[in-house]
Amino acid sequence: MGTRHVCASALIVGLLAVTASAQPQQLIASDRLEATMIASTGAQEAIPLVEERLTVSVDGQHATTTLLQVFQHGNGAQIEGRYKLRPGMGSRVEGFSYWNGEQKIVGEVFERTTARQVYDNVTSRRRDPGLLEEDGEGAFQFKVFPIQPNEKKRVELRWSKWLERRGQTVRFRAPITRGNADIVIDVQGQVKNVRSSSHKLKLDRDSNGIRLRSDGARGRGELVIEWEVDEPEWLPSAYVHRGSGDNDGWFALSLATNDVDSTRSVAAKDVTIVIDRSGSMTGEPLANAKAAAVDVIRRLPPTDRVNVVAFSDEVDPLFRAPQLLDEENRNRAIGFVQRLHEGGGTDIALALTTAIKSQDTKLGRPRVVVFMTDGQSDVDKSILAAKADTGDIRLFTVGLGKDVNRPLLQRLAALKRGNFTYIEKASAIQADVAKLATHIAKPLLVDVSLDVDGVQATRLYPRSLPDLFVDDQLVVSGRLKSASGIAKFTIKGRLAGKPVTFTRTIDLGKSPPRPWVGRLWAQARVDHLQEEIALGAKQPELMTELIELALAYNFVTPYTAFLAIPEAELGDQRGTIEAARAAKKKIMAQNPDAANLDKNAADPVYLSQDHAQNLPQGAPAMRTMGNASDEDVAERSFSGSVQTQRGRGCAGCSTGGDASSLLLLLGLVVLVLRRRRVT
């Protein structure tokens, strides 16, 4: 009772850029950050940006970012603006607004087909809606029409992201264009060595964290800030948000790796590189695969053994089994790769089976398979081939080309405790392969599992935990059945061959509200559902749940979109919108945990008068994150022993809402309106 155990084997959950088979496949977006608006005229000219303001709230490694930009249309024609936002891989848009003069039009999340239908109908009548949709991984776009001659068009977007961490260093990036942009960043927690390669910063520090303000840009381009976490290495971070009333709560747990002994020798290993040379790899994908494979071969030490397997609908191994990497065999392997040319079908299952069977188990060396492909092959057969091997082979998949089957390659890597790398273009090969080579050489924490004691943890994501490598991190989110008592999170594994445990204990009664933890879990659940659907799951209830979660927790997916439209402009689409709002209200009633997510938050409600006019009935209010730090106890043990406290906890404690604050706010609004009316 009160314990949840997850073994290291099956699934790494990631944000998918592939929709269901009924929809066209989306491209995976570049991680180049940008936020621009283009006039949709024949010239496709950028609309000048005249004002820019960025506000960020960071709690641990979770950042909520709000970007306000003002564009000024300078020519004499009425135009449609097309806005592109690339906030980075793993980002989720949670808010979208624009202004018509002084009126703020706040977006609502609907099913994508409904939002698109209303937008197309209204714009055909030369009216003024805005539509924001996902446009590949880490990228979004919206249209707003019309923009009048010389009009200043204000737009505001809010997105969230779990920030990248390598060792003790956390990195934040955001798309910033103007050198004089107003930038304010609040970072909760104890941090040190704050630095920026892109901007000059002014720093204020208090007991809760730091506040950063921009003092001008060093050049043109995106904002980049790094800081170090001022806490012991190998210390898990844990965050919780208690549900209101009888609703379940949520938790998020993370562990960043540190190379405990960078001087220790790296075990000699067998590496088999599998290269897809089928017709679907024609051109740049195969060229990049060959360049990456040659780079890997050159980086391997002479103590390793290597083999290369080329495949299409047939397989062509260089050797019968991996051979020692002396100078002759290294040159043979590189020459074999460089002579490959494309042609034929794609049989990943056959290639994977061949690579696994060619391994030599007698020497007891670590065995690694690096699989380079676009993944365009039979999904079920490929997964069965990976599952058929019961040994300890680690599989690293490398996706190449714009049409890469990301869900399949992620699933294959997760099944064999490796990881997935996407190489979009030739310029990224060197950096990506260097990281891949580091992971191949030095897996740090293996056989990872998680125990949760004192409370009942359910619906954890990822479903199974992967091995962790240098500069890697584990992020787990889940639900908590009880909302009080002491929660003890224990991560177990083997580090340098020895059993280890890393523990974090939290008093749920003293933990501050963190609504973002609930949304982070919902996003992880949606990612899992998207992967299942992309891999061919036929159950219609999966799609239903995916859409309902995105609507209830209020974020954009390939199946949902933000629609911002003045009520006066709805026309004959009013019935469609009212039906969509009624359906969403029903979904919120069926998901009271999501509906009440912000009710016990300590931060003020950002609800202006124009926002209140456009907010759909039943939609969650927009808030900032709780900033108070939780009182917890951290434990680390390299002995393998762990003391657990099981079975504690009771039903969730009821928490009060913000009704009085909202009534006071509305009262003030009424007084202001009356005074205006009198004057």
pLDDT, one tens digit per residue, over 236-288 is: 999 999 887 778 899 999 999 886 655 555 678 899 999 999 998 999 889 99
pLDDT of residue 256: 93
SS3 assignment, position 474: strand
Contact 349, 382 (CB under 8 A): yes
Residue 673 has pLDDT above 80, yes or no: no
Gap between the terminal Cα atoms of the chain = 67
Domain ranges of the chain: 21-55+63-162+237-254+446-462+494-624+633-679, 270-441
pLDDT given at position 665: 43
**Identity of residue 668:** L
Whether the upstream peptide bond of residue 146 has omega within 30° of 0, thus cis, is yes
Percent of the chain with pLDDT over 70: 81
Taking the C-alpha atoms of residue 204 and residue 215, their distance in angstroms, rounded to an integer, is 13
Mean pLDDT of 486-499: 90
What's the rounded Cα separation, in Å, for the pair 589 and 578? 16
Main-chain dihedrals φ then ψ at residue 520, nearest 5 degrees:
-65, -40
pLDDT at 143 over 90: no
How high is the pLDDT of residue 159? 96
CATH superfamily of 270-441: von Willebrand factor, type A domain (3.40.50.410)
Q: Which of 59-73, 183-197, 372-386 has the lowest mean pLDDT?
A: 372-386
More confident residue, 81 or 29: 81
Contact yes or no for 343/281 (Cβ under 8 A): no
Q: Are 236 and 332 in contact (CB under 8 A)?
A: no
**CB-neighbour burial class of residue 226 (10 A; exposed 0-12, middle 13-18, buried 19+):** middle
As a whole number, mean pLDDT of residues 614-618 equals 34
**Which comes out higher in pLDDT, residue 374 or 653?**
374
pLDDT at residue 21 greater than cutoff 50:
no
Residue of 109 and 136 predicted with greater confidence: 109
Q: CA angle, 346 as apex, 345 and 348 as ends, to 5°?
A: 160
* Averaged pLDDT, 367-390: 90
What mean pLDDT is reported for the chain? 81
pLDDT score for 619: 34
51 versus 219: which is more confidently predicted? 51
Cβ–Cβ < 8 Å for 52, 69: yes
Q: Residue 567: how many CB atoms within 10 A of its CB? A: 10
pLDDT at residue number 200? 94
Q: Please give the residue that has the higher pLDDT: either 633 or 229.
A: 229
Mean pLDDT of 7-17: 28
Contacts of 463 (CB under 8 A, 6+ apart): 6, 10, 11, 13, 528
pLDDT top residue among 357 and 653: 357
Asked if residue 129 has pLDDT above 90, the reply is no
Count, residues in the chain: 679
**What does the pLDDT read at residue 562?**
93
**Half-sphere exposure (Cβ direction) of 127: Cα atoms closer than 13 Å:** 21
- Looking at residue 622, its pLDDT comes to 31
Give the CA distances from residue 45 to residues 41, 169, 533, in Å, rounded to whole numbers and listed in that order. 7, 39, 38
Q: Residue 476: which of 12, 110, 120 has the closest Cα?
A: 12
State yes or no: pLDDT of 503 exceeds 70: yes
Which pLDDT belongs to residue 381?
93
3-state secondary structure of 175: coil
Q: CA-CA distance, 399 to 421, in Å (whole number)?
A: 6
Structure tokens belonging to residue 646 = 């099981």
Q: Are 340 and 290 in contact (CB under 8 A)?
A: yes
Looking at the predicted structure, is the pLDDT value of residue 531 above 50?
yes
Can you read off the two tokens belonging to residue 7? 């073994």
pLDDT score at 286: 92
**Cα separation of 316 and 307, whole Å?**
11
Q: Report pLDDT for 402.
A: 78
What per-residue confidence (pLDDT) applies to 43? Answer: 63
Least confident interval from 154-163, 399-408, 614-623: 614-623
187-214 confidence digits (pLDDT tens): 998 999 999 999 999 999 988 899 999 9
Q: What is the mean pLDDT of residues 632-640?
A: 40
The whole-number pLDDT of residue 341 equals 93
Which of 86, 213, 80, 82 lies closest to 151 in space, CA to CA? 80
Structure tokens at 140: 């979004």
Distance CA 11, CA 530 (A): 13
The whole-number pLDDT of residue 205 equals 93
Residue 393 and residue 413 in contact, taking contact as beta carbons nearer than 8 Å:
no
What confidence category does residue 144 fall into, taking pLDDT thresholds of 50, 70 and 90?
confident
**Listed range (89-98, 227-236, 242-251, 573-582) with the worst mean pLDDT:** 242-251
Q: What are phi and psi of 539, to 5 degrees?
A: -65, 120
Structure-block tokens of residue 1: 């009772």
User: Which of the two residues, 247 and 76, has the higher pLDDT score?
Assistant: 247
Identify whether the C-beta of residue 369 lies closer than 8 Å to the C-beta of residue 398.
no
The per-residue DSSP string of 495-518 comes to: ETTEEEEEEEEEETTTPPP-HHHH
Query: Which residues are CB-contacts of 85 (< 8 A; sequence separation ≥ 6)?
Result: 34, 35, 67, 93, 139, 140, 141, 142, 157, 159, 175
- Two tokens, residue 659: 């009704």
